[in-house]
Amino acid sequence: MDMDGWMQPEQEQMAQYAEAFYGLAGLFQRLPCQKERLSEEELRVLFEDVKERVCVKCRKEKECWGGACFSNCRVLYECLREMERSGAFSSEQEQYLRRSCSRPGQMALALQAGYEEARNNLLWSNRMLEQRQAAGEQIYQTAELLRHTAQSFADASGMEQRVAKKLRRELQYLNVALDDIRAFAREPDKTEYYLTVHAANRSALPGGAIWKEYLAPRLGKRASVVSARSVAEVLSDSCGEKMCPAPDCRAGVTDAPMIFHFVPDAHYQLFCGVARVTKTGEMVSGDNYTLLQKDNGKVIMSLADGMGSGVEANQESEKVIELLEQFLMAGFPQETAVRLINSCMLLQNGRQIFSTIDLCMIDLYNAKCDMIKFGAAASFLIDEKEIEVIRSGALPPGVMQQSNYESLHRTLRPGASIVMMTDGVTDALGGENREQAMAELIIRTKTRNAQEYARRLMERVYLAQKRQARDDMTILIGTIFERKQSRSWNG
């Protein structure tokens, strides 16, 4: 919002989108709740159906469904409740029914058939409500992201005006003209800049005569090349914070106006390694993984273990990884991303194939590590010679409506390593205390090179199985180091 309280056009548009999605999500939230038991109306319909099947030809129909209707319905109701608890019609229930019915065997069969039909209808109704609630959760989370984006524009609007004037003047000495500047505060303390710049005529700029007489002859061809890193240095001086080109930024400035993306320089770097072994006899692994670095300085390490092995397990874990990449790269928080994936898995129309999620996100600015485990195998955090086992008792996504994941937050010290693995790795060691055995093996194998670390660890696990993998195995390792050249920027 500007000084007069007006929203920027893009901020206002995003806010309107968010409100629309909030309203739509509200409609889904007002849907009826799922039911655990049959309603009184459903029981009445069930009794009427039983009456049509069994009692219509019975000579005692008028007696049972007349004056003794209340007591007989109570007997049937008790039989149904017992059936709900035990799941079948027992001999004790039949004896109980025999006291009030002259055809107890037929009545028991009719009750069980009617109950199973009504129960199936209830399950399908709950399934539909569950899917609608999942869709409502997705819409709500989209509204949350749009609201956050609108706020990000507002937080950064003042920075543009403060930086633009000084930046435009300083860039002139690099033969670069600033056409436009946009700031975006993706997070409160991390402002990103998008500069639209192009190469200008040096002789027309302030100091052009000095450039033409002294600098240009000495630089030769290099005089016409201005790198994105040079622009980042000028931007750093203008905004008072060390900036660097984003991973997707262009390399150098040309005569045509182009957009350059700059982000705050990170204080840490993460080196990653991966090792994989496919189950013996299978062509493809049921495990999938991803390693991503976002523009906001966060590195994503994630593993997905499909249920079973082979092509179907691979397809399921691959789907989970692709969704995770899309949600996280779009800017969704990791908690929101896993909830959305859980909703997507619930909308699979009854498919009983699942995949675990093991997600680790490391912030390279402050070395904070956020981990989410959704039915995944244990992970290990190694700091010097100490090791922490990170376990999960949650079910895989898609099993329950509520996202039953477990999260953990840590701050890493330089040299610390995170070892993530699928359950095929821990199961390979055998014995009762597999996690303790794996922790000892990790300590003995540790090296500063993450890729070599993963390779050596997998080799030892594979040898423990005599090179016959009983399940797909994947190890993912990340080791964090401090960037010595990264220091606070004083202008």
With the C-alpha atoms ordered 318, 320, 325, 326, is the resulting torsion angle positive or negative? positive
What's the Cα-to-Cα distance from 251 to each of 228, 231, 261, rounded to whole Å? 5, 10, 11
Q: What pLDDT does residue 291 have?
A: 92
Confidence of residue 401 (pLDDT cuts 50, 70, 90): low
Yes or no: say if 355 and 396 are a contact pair by the CB < 8 Å rule.
yes
Exposed, middle or buried by CB within 10 Å (0-12, 13-18, 19+), for 401?
middle
The average pLDDT across 149-175 equals: 76
Give the residue-averaged pLDDT of 152-176.
77
Q: What is the pLDDT of residues 24-75, one digit of tens each?
A: 777 766 666 666 666 667 777 777 777 777 776 777 666 666 666 666 677 7
pLDDT for res 31: 61
> Which whole number is the average pLDDT over 470-481?
93
Share of the chain above pLDDT 70, in %: 72
pLDDT band at 207 (very low <50, low <70, confident <90, very high): very low
Q: By the 8 A CB rule, do 476 and 425 touch?
A: no
Q: Does pLDDT of 487 surpass 50? A: no
Q: Mean per-residue pLDDT for 332-361?
A: 76
> What burial letters (b/e) apply to 117-132, b meaning 16+ CB within 10 Å?
ebbeebeeeeeebbbb
Is residue 211 predicted with pLDDT exceeding 50?
no
- Interatomic CA distance for residues 445 and 455, integer angstroms: 10
485/459 Cα distance (integer angstroms): 35
Q: State the pLDDT confidence band at 491, using cuts at 50, 70 and 90.
A: very low
Task: For helices 450-464 and 434-445, give the axis angle rounded to 10 degrees.
Answer: 130
Q: At what angle do helices 104-171 and 91-98 cross, to 10 degrees?
A: 130
Confidence band for 420, pLDDT divided at 50, 70 and 90? very high
Tokens matching residue 106: 């037929």
pTM (2 d.p.): 0.68
**Is the per-residue pLDDT at 158 higher than 90?**
no
Q: If pLDDT is split at 50, 70 and 90, which confidence band does 359 have?
A: very high
Residue 412 near residue 480 (C-beta atoms within 8 A): yes
What gap in Å lies between CA 338 and CA 153, rounded to an integer?
26
- Count CB neighbours of 385 within 10 A: 7
- Residue 137 has a pLDDT of 72
Residue 348 has pLDDT above 70, yes or no: no
CA dist., res. 151 & res. 228, Å (int): 28
Q: pLDDT category, 142, cuts 50, 70, 90?
A: confident
The pair of structure tokens assigned to 191 is 């402002």
pLDDT of residue 398: 56
pLDDT at 201 > cutoff 70: no
pLDDT at 351 over 60: no
C-beta separation of 461 from 427 below 8 A = no
Question: Dihedral (C-alpha) 265, 271, 277, 278: value to the nearest 10 degrees?
Answer: 0
Q: What is the pLDDT of residues 220-263, one digit of tens each?
A: 444 456 889 999 999 998 888 888 898 888 888 888 889 999 98
Q: Residue 155 and residue 219: Cα distance in Å, rounded?
A: 41
Distances from the Cα of 116 to the Cα of 14, 38, 367, 383, angstroms: 49, 11, 55, 56
